[in-house]
Amino acid sequence: MNNREDFITARVSLTKKGSDFLSGGHIWVYADEITAVNGTPVDGELVDVLSDRDRYLGTGLYNSHSKIRVRLLSRNANDTFDAAFWERRVRYALSYRRSVMGEQDLNACRLIFGEADSFPGLTVDRFGHVLVAQILSLGMERRRDIILPLLVRLLREEFGQTVDTVYLRNDEVFRNLEGMTQEKAFYTFPGLGLHTEAEEDGTVTITENGILYRVDYINGQKTGFFLDQKYNRRAIRTLAQGRQVLDCFTHTGSFGLNAAAAGAAHVVSVDISADALAMAAVNAQANGLADRITYVQADVFDYLKGLLAGGRKASPFDFIILDPPAFTKSRDTLRNAIKGYREINAAAMRLLPRGGYLATCSCSHFMTDAYFKQMLHNAAEDAGVSLRQVEARQQGPDHPILWNVPETNYLTFYIFQVV
């Protein structure tokens, strides 16, 4: 039987700033916050973290290659990090999702959301019989042969749900910063009966909000499909009924499909990616909605400018949806991102008639709700309109937010009426 000390390779002590940061609820230790190391820490393995006053703050995964030197895993000094520990963690993540989403929505959801589920650097999305994993920390990479088989086994045994394919989408440049290489590959493990590349074509069909989607989990963006907007897509349905809808940055068509399925008079869905639009058209055909949606390949900024040239009265749209990709992935580019958000939102507001509706969002945690609100105030002033808030929403509960870890709070979503 292992005891706790068998898993701890060293102890690190922190500056007062680092101690306060962790005591305040955050879970990362940066390299410049470490003042002393007692022992020989092993990259990817566990270290105890002590405050500037030698008080135990937690245990985390160490990596000398990363600016985030330690990713906290536990604050319980009695935890033993054996197989039973990881099984409890996986069970907790699955049980949480069953509680907040229900059994039906487990078929297409995020099962593991990194730090928010205490699996720092690990994302696992489920698309029916397929799990897609993205591993961005060395500590999780070292434990993938514990965690991924557990997910497959517990879904089968506890939920009666079959997973026969696990795919690794480890093609993010962030892995290089952690001292790892990038890869895309089917994952296999003895005894799990998982499919290999020869048995899978890299696509799978899921159902979300009653709509069928063909998901390309090998070549699609991120893990293949954006699950975080599930309930936001549902929220626009009532407003879409009978309206002329413009769906901007449609990707594989999800907002437009929800609008059309809800009874929109017509939908125009715009994206710059021909591949994404091709998949969107396949999805529309599969749902019997092809005659209700027109797909346009264009830069959304240019498309909106073209519509503005005709003026508000010439615009046919009375409901516009803006679901852009993250315009910023760092604080350094935040100012330019705000300009981009302001431009497209002001354009949409100018195009909408009085009484028309706008759904708009940001998916970057650097674009905080406060920044987004101020941008919307400025855009409304630019457009000479007032906004009546219908709803304020965020990411779905399968992407849980830790209030002391702002990086987990990244999706801001508003619905307005232009008045």
Q: Any idea which residues carry the catalytic annotation?
A: 363
User: Where would I find the H helices in 52-196?
Assistant: 83-101, 138-142, 144-159, 174-177
Q: Long-range CB contacts (< 8 A, 24+ apart) of 284-290?
A: 284/253, 284/256, 284/257, 284/260, 286/205, 286/212, 286/214, 287/211, 287/212, 287/257, 287/260, 287/261, 289/257, 289/260, 289/261
Q: What span, in angstroms and rounded, lies between the C-alpha atoms of 415 and 419?
A: 13
Residue with tokens 């033993």: 80
Alpha helices of 193-246 — where are they, by DSSP H?
230-235, 237-240
b/e burial code for range 227-257 (CB count within 10 A of at least 16 → b) = bbbbbbbbbbbebbeebbbbbbbbbbbbbbb
- Return the closest-CA partner of residue 296 out of 247, 263, 338: 247
The residue among 358, 341, 364 whose CA lies nearest residue 414 is 358
* Rama region for 209: left / alpha / beta (φ>0; ψ in -120 to 50; rest): left
Residue 378 has which token pair? 């400025």
* CB-based burial label for 67 (10 Å; 0-12, 13-18, 19+): exposed
Straight-line distance from the first to the last Cα atom of the chain, in angstroms, rounded to the nearest whole number: 68
Both tokens of residue 9? Answer: 């390779």
